[in-house]
Amino acid sequence: MKPRDSAGKYCYDHPRPAVSVDIVLFDWVRRRIDVLLIKRAHAPFKGRWALPGGFVDPDEPLEDAARRELAEETGIAGIELSQFRAFGDPGRDPRGHNVSIVFTAILDDKPTAVAGDDAAEAQWHSARRPPRLAFDHNKILQLALKQVLEKGQR
């Protein structure tokens, strides 16, 4: 049984982190590797490039959340995603403690991205020379790129 307060909200002796998903979508053709980024339309980091992603809804499976966020922010659907790893260092999100589960995919046919939801823009950028990214997304991108290059995945 989950403890609830008099208002019906969950209550615990300590705060719980939020859970989000981020998606690192690579397009790899020959020696060029691009990554799909969105420009944030809202704070925090309004106007800064970021990986597509967002908060997991209550009772939503993680992979469903990743697919939903990718479709909402970029218009891209039907991509097979693989769970990469989790990122949860305190301070990675100025809104509070947030743990993000990151999903990746490697494509060889760059789909057209159309910004939606809370994304002002959606564009492909060089994965090796990305613009300045929001949150800890540069760290996430570099680790995902390193894994892709080491495995020689296609």
Q: Which of 64, 36, 30 is nearest to 50 (CA)?
A: 36
| Catalytic residue, candidates 60, 63, 72, 121 | 121
Residue of higher predicted confidence among 79 and 3: 79
In a domain, 92, yes or no: yes
In a domain, 109, yes or no: yes
Residue linked to tokens 């060089």: 126
CATH code: domain of residue 95: 3.90.79.10
**pTM for the predicted model, two decimal places:** 0.89
In a domain, 13, yes or no: no
Residue 69 known to be catalytic: no
Quick one: average pLDDT of 12-25?
A: 89
Q: How many domains does the chain have?
A: 1
- Burial level of 121, CB count in 10 A (0-12/13-18/19+)? middle
The pLDDT value given to residue 128: 96
Query: Above 50 in pLDDT, residue 1?
Result: no
In a domain, 57, yes or no: yes
Question: For residues 103 and 100, what is the distance between their CA atoms, to the nearest angstrom?
Answer: 10
Range of the domain at 145: 18-151
In a domain, 3, yes or no: no
In a domain, 5, yes or no: no
Query: Above 80 in pLDDT, residue 45?
Result: yes
In a domain, 4, yes or no: no
For Cα atoms 102, 147, 98, give the angle at the middle one, nearest 5 degrees.
25
In a domain, 7, yes or no: no
